[in-house]
Every structure is written in C-alpha cells, then in structure tokens.
Amino acid sequence: MAPTVEIYTWRTCPFCLRAKALLDRKGVAYQEHAIDGDETARAEMAQRAGGRRTVPQIFVEGHHLGGCDDLYGLERAGRLDALLQINP
C-alpha cells in the first residue's frame, strides 16, 4: 500500500511546481493543500513543519520530509523511492 503523501503549496510557486513534477514523474499520488494567502493554513503547516513557513512543505505518513530541496536531495541520494515505497 502506498504511503500517504501531503504537500503544502502556493499555486504559482516555482519550487512547489518542481516538487509536484518530481512526484508526478514517479507516479506518486499526493494530497495538495493549496494555501495561497491563507495565513491560518500557513500557521498550521508551520506548526507541523517544525516552524518552517516556506512552501512547499512535504509530509509522508504524517512525518515531515521537508521542502523542494529536501525532496530532490533524497532523490539524488537514492533514498526517495524507498521512502515512497516505489519499486525501481
């Protein structure tokens, strides 16, 4: 069973688009929380993300993975597929 993936975004954020593109290329289903201009939602995201207020913020099975750079760092290190339970 695939893990639950959540991503907090702003619709026009280039880093958000880049992170979603990687998840899409890998065929990963995710729940997107578009929080454009919603300070209450941003505060909730920041609380979940250990104070990080930038977007995107990505969670796998409720655990904070990080932002776009963190996602691509895991990909470069060859660890993202295992985290997302993707069989190469």
pLDDT in tens, 20-62: 999 999 999 999 999 999 999 999 999 999 999 999 999 999 9
| Core vs surface per residue 76-86: b (16+ CB within 10 A) or e | eeeebeebbee
| Structural domain containing residue 74 | 5-83
Q: Tell me what percent of the residues of the chain surpass a pLDDT of 70.
A: 99
What is the rounded CA–CA span in Å between residue 7 and residue 16?
8
User: What size, in residues, is the chain?
Assistant: 88
| pLDDT surpassing 80 at residue 11 | yes
d(CA 26, CA 83): 12
Question: Is 88 a member of any domain?
Answer: no
> In what helix (H) or strand (E) does residue 46 lie, and over which residues does it extend?
helix 39-48
Across 20-24, 52-56, 64-68, 84-88, least confident range: 84-88
How many domains, in total, are found in the chain? 1
**pLDDT at 87 exceeding the cut of 90:** no
User: For the domain that residue 10 is a member of, what is the CATH number?
Assistant: 3.40.30.10
Closest CA to 16 of 80, 67, 53, 61: 67
